[in-house]
Chains A and B, each alone.
Chain A
Amino acid sequence: EPEVTQTPSHQVTQMGQEVILRCVPISNHLYFYWYRQILGQKVEFLVSFYNNEISEKSEIFDDQFSVERPDGSNFTLKIRSTKLEDSAMYFCASSSTNVANTQYFGPGTRLLVL
């Protein structure tokens, strides 16, 4: 069964460093998303991406964040200068046809900023 994959599973970084989180969506899916979940809190939408551009972003997704689909299979989230409060689980998701369709989540990357 196709699934969304994410790497790395865990990432530890120093405050101020750049991190890149990687996702491989399900192959025939067209819509891609990033979410974060701070420990003990709710899942928060960051950004949606379609046709090689951002279709929607939340107020969390400020200038330190960027997304890219560099090669037609990977979908990346870059955090330019990490802050302590960026420590969270980051989930990638994808859906097949339109934004209201079912989203399938990857296993997540746990980011710890020291």
Chain B
Amino acid sequence: QKEVEQNSGPLSVPEGAIASLNCTYSDRVSQSFFWYRQYSGKSPELIMSIYSNGDKEDGRFTAQLNKASQYVSLLIRDSQPSDSATYLCAVNTGNQFYFGTGTSLTVIP
């Protein structure tokens, strides 16, 4: 069974700190990797996509992918209280998408 694993948290960081979120996946042939943010009762909102090994930066967000280790991470720099949400890792394998259970992040003012 294809799995996407995340620490459920909660993860708490002070405002201005770096938040680090991690995700591992089980299927080596997975092709595309995504980070979504989900506020309580709302739909997932795309933050980043990453397709090749290495780092990808977009503003305060950096996604890192290591296909050999089957590991993808998200760093949030200068964390803000508005970043408090659940962060979902999603993996595309074939024509299916698999989501992790999400990591709950709280940024403390």
Contacts and interface: CB of A to CB of B under 8 A. Distances in A.
Interface residues of B, number: 23
Secondary structure at chain B's binding surface: helix, strand, loop or mixed? Answer: strand
B99 A43 contact: yes
B37 to A, nearest CB: 11
Interface in A8-55: 33, 35, 41-45, 48, 55
A55 B95 contact: yes
Nearest to B1: A59
Interface stretch (B20-28, B45-53, B66-74): B45-53
Contacts of A33: 97
B33 to A, nearest CB: 10
Given A42-B102, A43-B99, A100-B31, A105 B45 contact: yes
B96 A45 contact: yes
Question: What interface size band does chain A fall in?
Answer: 20 to 34
A91 interface: yes
Contacts of B88: 42-43
B60 interface: no
Contacts of A55: 95
B87 interface: no
A99 B92 contact: yes
Contact of A107 (B42, B51, B101): B42
Given A35-B99, A100-B51, A107-B43, 14 more contacts: A42-B101, A48-B95, A48-B96, A56-B95, A58-B96, A91-B43, A99-B95, A100-B31, A100-B92, A102-B49, A103-B34, A105-B43, A105-B44, A107-B42
